[in-house]
């Protein structure tokens, strides 16, 4: 399967921390990278962290050095730590700074609970693993909970723990990697294993028309047409 675009678009930041849920953002980061985005990991510090699956990741940068102006997106993945300690609260605070600056934030699973505790879901449409899960945080945004696989509300994207493909769909659409039929085909391929979607996703996109080639023959001198001199198309 080919990459979607050959040029660089910007930098996306993936938050990583101990008990990071490996499976929740793989589709998102892989296709952002194929779509021309640089993906950098950001941890509490630059010390290595260990995922739920036992993978050891050395963050590219520390959270304190991350600023919204330098990013196209902040991705927050679920982790056991969201529900057992306050260690990840600084990541929710960073999400607030991103949203205040108009830079998108995507959160899945436990990260949505972290945003709820920080008050970031009190007045925004959102979803999560279950409404009762967020209710347990004591947040005040229950009226804005949406029963959906993923929800985009302005610059905030949320999804539940079983919906990594839906999260990626919303992110890829929001950042312009895919749109329209191709975005739908991408989702149907990776969520539904639809073979027809594979053909559509890999179909060649039409090339934009280029400049006509010169014939090499000198052009005959002639009076300008009425459309050329008036600035109107012929027949107008």
Terminal Cα-to-Cα distance of the chain (whole angstroms): 47
Residue 95 near residue 120, CB atoms below 8 Å: yes
φ, ψ for residue 14 (rounded to 5)?
Answer: -105, 120
Residue 96 near residue 116, CB atoms below 8 Å: no
d(CA 88, CA 114): 8
Residue 59 near residue 43, CB atoms below 8 Å: yes
- For the CA atoms of 188, 193, 194, 199, the dihedral, rounded to the nearest 10 degrees, stands at 90
Residue 16 near residue 57, CB atoms below 8 Å: yes
d(CA 94, CA 66): 8
Q: Which residues carry out catalysis?
A: 109
d(CA 109, CA 72): 21
d(CA 184, CA 182): 5
Beta bridge mates, 42 = 15, 61
């Amino acid at each position: 399967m080919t990459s979607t675009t050959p040029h660089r678009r910007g930098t996306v930041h993936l938050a990583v921390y101990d008990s990071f849920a490996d499976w929740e953002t793989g589709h998102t980061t892989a296709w952002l990278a194929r779509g021309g985005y640089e993906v950098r990991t950001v941890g509490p510090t630059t010390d290595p962290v260990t995922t739920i699956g036992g993978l050891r990741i050395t963050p590219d940068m520390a959270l304190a050095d991350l600023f919204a102006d330098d990013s196209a997106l902040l991705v927050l993945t679920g982790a056991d730590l969201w529900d057992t300690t306050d260690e990840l609260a600084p990541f929710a605070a960073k999400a607030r700074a991103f949203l205040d600056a108009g830079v998108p934030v995507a959160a899945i699973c436990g990260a949505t609970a972290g945003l709820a505790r920080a008050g970031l879901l009190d007045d925004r449409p959102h979803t999560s693993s279950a409404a009762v899960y967020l209710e347990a945080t004591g947040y005040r945004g229950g009226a804005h909970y949406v029963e959906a696989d993923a929800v985009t509300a302005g610059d905030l994207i949320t999804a539940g723990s079983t919906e990594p493909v839906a999260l990626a769909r919303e992110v890829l659409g929001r950042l312009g990697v895919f749109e329209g039929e191709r975005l739908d085909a991408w989702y149907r391929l990776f969520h539904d294993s639809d073979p027809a979607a594979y053909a559509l996703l890999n179909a060649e996109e039409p090339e934009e028309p280029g400049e006509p080639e010169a014939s090499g023959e000198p052009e005959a001198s002639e009076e300008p047409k009425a459309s050329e001199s008036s600035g109107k198309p012929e027949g107008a």
